[in-house]
Structure 1
Amino acid sequence: MKQFSRMALAASLLLAACATSETHQDTTTVNASLVVDTLAKARLDSTLQAQVTSGQVAGVSALVFEKGEEVYFNAFGMADREENVPMARNTLVQIFSMTKPITGVALMQLYEQGKFQLDDPVANYIPEFANLQVYAGNDAAGQPVLEAPHRPMLVRDLTRHTSGLTSGPDTAYVGALLKKVDPMNRENTLTQMAEKFAQAPLWFQPGAQWAYGPSVDVQALLVERLSGQPFDQYVQEHIFGPLGMDETRYFIPEADRDRFAALYLRNDSTGLTRVPDSLAHALNTRHWPLTPGGFGFTSTVDDYMRFARMLVNEGELDGTRILKPETVELMATNQLPDSVTERSWLPSKGRVGFGIDFAVRVSPPQTAEENNGVVGEFFWDGAASTLFWVDPANELTAVLFVQIMPFYGQLHKQFRDAVYGPYTPTATP
């Protein structure tokens, strides 16, 4: 992740013509080495506008930084269609699983302090998990077979989704038990959450497969146990405050709720249907005991960009260091061994492995249908179709905000193509 010369960029900016409107600041330069050049900006505008015009999304915004400078921002459509509130730079959205990388950074700060090692058993710090069993299918009579773990669940397993934990209610045998004890109920503390997860067996042997689930929520409890601080207080003091991320939080006060984007369900046949705010915004309009590490934060596009820029700058932003460079590199390095062949839907993200709370691109796309991207990029997204990525090779960070369910992966594909240009077999981004 080389540092870019700001003097060189300033010189190129002197040669550029800049125009500003309320929604779009054109920072075009004559630097031909930039990924986001004039053509890319035109692709981005047309791609995002088309999503709104076609009714696929109600509103969308995107922000891209390259080599330390903003190279693109625009917003289209409505944050709240029914109230006629435009999508804007200060719109607050639910980032859902884009909470996970924040939790990972919090945990790895404690790793730097020597509080734990990645191959430590989780039960060393969360003794509620000391006597876990593993579901191994049913016997001939249809009764569940439980067995001891072949090895302990490790902290590393939590960071790469190989823990064996699940929260899926439809998971064979385990799901019904978890539905009964309800570990992710908002009225639970993180400790109560762990106690309830421990009442059910693991879905699979630790380290055996990649399966998305509540592993990062358990990471939040690890942060509490290792730091001695409540998770929400820890991230505020050690990440949000130092980075100036003043609008990234669980709870949105009444005075800011007019900027809180509505959530929409997308259906190809019937269009967009608004989810009632009483359901969509329930987590963020009341203080709850549960402070999940895997979801729950709200943010603005600029706030989250500060987090992304810290990562592309090897753990530092504006003179404030959050992580050491070697820790960022560790997080952005694939941690999945080849022996983990069962990876659920992870391959749909492209040719990726998984690091510490990020997907990590390990190979360029081989077809035009695959997600565009650069080897070494690390990224994640959220259930309402938000997305960010960090591209160290080009010193580029991108944040895309929408509020659409179910997850709309085709939008991500189109956004990536707009940034990098269409795929060609003879060239990679």
Structure 2
Amino acid sequence: MEEIDKTFREAVADGRIHGAVLIAKDLTGKVDFSRSYGVRSLREEDPEKRPPMVADTPMRVASCSKFLTSIMVLKCVEMGLANLNGGLEKLLPEVAGLKVLTGFDDAGNPIEREPKSPVLLNSGLCYTLTFPLLQQYRKWQGLEIEQGYDNLDQNFKYPLLFDPGTKWAYGPSLDWCSRVIKRASGLSAEEFLQEHIVEPLGIDSDNMTFELQKHPNMQARRGDMTFRGGHTFTAESSSPGTGVLQYRDEEYWHEDIEPHGGQGIYTSPESYAKVLWSILSNDGKLLKPETRELLFKRALTLEAEKSFDEYCEQFKAFVPGVPVPAEIKHSHSLGGMLTLEDCDGDRWRQEGNLSWSGLPNIMWNIDKRAGMCTIWAFHMKPWGDPICIELGTKFEKAAFMMLKQ
């Protein structure tokens, strides 16, 4: 890992990145790596006053929240409080009754039909990001295209685009699951997070929460968001990987909203790595072994798997499974993306690898076959930044190669 240390120090020194956290650990003890580089904020103009990035720097992990929420939902299932295969009429009637949007009539009004299959916890919903038809519906609603409201209903109550189970699309199912958790358990999503993930793993509540405003210590230690240029997604840029690194303030640092299970958790890479390790090592602290296996089991139909691969090919700049090559066949479990092939023999992610990512170039994976988990976190936008992807992939591959030494 000496070469990785050198590479990341140089990347900070020449201004390609402002900072990063890298963590990797395997079951044999060969790999137990945790390094931090650079600074957690560019807010101060004087470089000498910029606080260092460390492994327990709290970050807004965005869609990396999905894995934590998946574990909480499976805990509800394990406790007999929810049913993955049942309809949502009792726990989430506002979603159970959604129809399929097929288009708009000449007057500009939406045309909808009843779905041919029920909306389940793990299927049927899409984010508006890559779907013009949903963007048109949002305009018809008189709402912003992208979520910017403090509640789930305004952000995500719009129709389906296909019959649940027939296709795959990146969507807000796990955002809605924070409400499912509350109704199923009687605990808020925050209370459930603390009781069933934070406490069992010995994580301090100042290191993992939906409610940042209630943790002033966490606020004081958190990383600011750094931008390369002015875009949120690399796909919006005409010259990806270019632009001056700059601090930018964002609303979610200053106000808590209704818990969004798909994107609303604040935590540190170090704390997140404890969750990855618990699942990899199968220590039973979070889930029983038989429930934990659902995280690694294909949950899509063959038809939906084909749709997943097509989505990854069509929307390369938005694919959460980066850096897995687009030509690798994918599926999805109840916890994240599964690779159905080895990415590079036994030298990198192997068949059955479970992974996902978050908007600020934060990526994790659990590889049962290799017996290793990793996370790399830059806490920088735009998503899919090619410099972050290149550096993070180098780290990941170096960690896997350590297993062969």
TM-score (norm 1): 0.76
Asked whether the equivalents of residues 262 and 275 of structure 1 are also in contact (C-alpha less than 8 Å), the reply is: yes
Amino acid at match of 2:83: Q
The one-letter amino acid paired with 2:255 is R
C-alpha contact 1:133 1:147 (8 A) present in aligned 2: yes
Equivalent in 258, 265, 271 of residue 227 of structure 2: 265
Q: 2:247 aligns with which of 274, 296, 317?
A: 274
| Alpha-carbon shift at residue 134 of structure 1 (Å) | 0.9
2:55: which partner in 1? 89
SS at match of 2:89: helix
Change (3 A) 1:269 1:155: closer
Say which of 307, 311, 322 aligns to 1:342: 307
Residue 332, structure 1, aligned to residue 296, structure 2: yes
Map 1:52-131 onto structure 2 (within 5 A). 52-67=12-27, 69=29, 71-81=32-42, 82=44, 83-131=49-97
After the TM superposition, which residues 166-181 of structure 1 pair with which residues of structure 2 at under 5 Å, given as runs? 166-168=127-129, 171-172=132-133, 173-177=136-140, 180=143
Contact 1:169 1:175 in 2 (8 A): no
Residues 130 and 79 (structure 1), Cα distance of their counterparts in 2 relative to 1, 3 Å cut: closer
Supply the AA of the counterpart residue of 1:51. Answer: A
| Aligned counterparts of 1:416 and 1:195: Cα–Cα separation in 2 | 37
Q: Which amino acid aligns with 1:242?
A: P
Distance (Å, rounded) in 1 between the aligned partners of 2:392 and 2:217: 32
Write out per-residue CA displacement over residues 230-270 of structure 1, whole angstroms, 9 at most, x where no aligned residue. Answer: 11111111111111121111315333433211211114443
1:116 to 1:405, Cα distance in 2 relative to 1, 3 A: same
Residues 339 and 61 of structure 1, relative CA distance in 2, 3 Å threshold: same
| Structure 1: gaps spanning 5 or more residues | 1-40, 158-162
1:150 correspondence with 2:128: no
Does residue 1:202 correspond to 2:160, yes or no? yes
Tell me the CA shift for residue 186 of structure 1: 4.7
Q: How far apart, in 2, do the equivalents of 1:418 and 1:314 lie?
A: 25
Selected match of 2:371 from 382, 385, 395: 395
One of 388, 408, 411 as aligned partner of 2:384: 408
Deviation of residue 420 (structure 1)? 2.9
* Counterpart code for 1:299: T
The farther-off stretch of 242-251 and 254-263 is: 254-263
Q: Any conservation in 2 of the 1:372–1:413 contact (CA below 8 Å)?
A: no
Q: Output the CA distance in 1 between the equivalents of 2:54 and 2:268.
A: 9
Shift of 1:184: 5.0
TM-score, structure 2 as length reference:
0.80
Q: CA 1:89–1:183 in structure 2 vs 1: closer, same or farther (change >3 Å)?
A: closer
Moved more, 350-359 or 383-392: 350-359
Distance 2:130 2:354 in 1: 30
Q: How big is each residue's C-alpha offset from its partner over 1:299-332, in whole Å with a ceiling of 9 and x where there is no partner?
A: 222211111111101253xxxx210112111111
Match of 2:362, as an amino acid?
Answer: T
2:335 to 357, 362, 384: 357
User: Match of 2:226, as an amino acid?
Assistant: Y
1:106 CA displacement: 0.4
Q: Please say if 1:417 is aligned against 2:394.
A: yes
| Shift of residue 408, structure 1, vs aligned partner | 3.1
- Once the two structures are superposed, what CA deviation does each residue of 1:9-45 show, in whole Å capped at 9, x if it has no partner? xxxxxxxxxxxxxxxxxxxxxxxxxxxxxxxx12321
Deviation at 1:97, TM superposition (A): 0.9
CA distance in 2, matches of 1:194, 1:258: 31
CA distance 1:408–1:130, change in 2 (3 Å): closer
CA distance in 2, matches of 1:65, 1:376: 18
C-alpha separation in 1, matches of 2:140 and 2:200: 41
Give the 3-state SS of the residue equivalent to 1:117 in structure 2. coil
1:153-176 deviations in Å (ceiling 9; x for gaps) = 12231xxxxx13434496323332
- Per the alignment, in what secondary structure is the counterpart of residue 388 of structure 1? strand
Q: Check whether the contact 2:59–2:268 (CA below 8 A) recurs between aligned residues.
A: yes
Q: Distance in 2 between matches of 1:49 and 1:210?
A: 39
Deviates more, 1:304-313 or 1:111-120: 111-120
130 and 170 in structure 1: CA distance in 2 versus 1, 3 angstrom threshold: closer
Q: Secondary structure at the match of 1:295?
A: coil
Distance 1:216 1:168 in 2: 16
The residue type equivalent to 1:135 in the other structure is L
Instruction: For residue 164 of structure 1, give the secondary structure of its aligned residue in structure 2.
Output: coil
Equivalent residue pairs, number: 364
Whether the aligned pair in 1 keeps the contact of 2:225 and 2:248 (CA below 8 Å) is: yes
CA separation in 1, counterparts of 2:399 and 2:378? 22
Question: Helix, strand or coil: the match of 2:5?
Answer: helix
SS, match of residue 80 in structure 1: coil
Is 2:311 aligned against 1:311?
no
For 1:300, the equivalent position in structure 2 comes to 268
SS in 1 for 2:40: strand
What is the CA-CA distance between 1:421 and the residue it aligns to? Answer: 4.4
Question: Residues 66 and 261 of structure 2 are in contact (CA less than 8 Å); yes or no, is this contact kept in structure 1?
Answer: yes
* Cα distance in structure 2, aligned partners of 1:130 and 1:297: 25
RMSD: 3.0
1:283 to 252, 256, 277: 252
CA contact under 8 A between 1:166 and 1:203: conserved in structure 2? Answer: no
Are residues 263 and 205 of structure 1, via their aligned partners in 2, closer, same or farther at CA, if it must alter by over 3 Å? Answer: same
Q: Tell me the amino acid that sits aligned with residue 313 of structure 1.
A: S
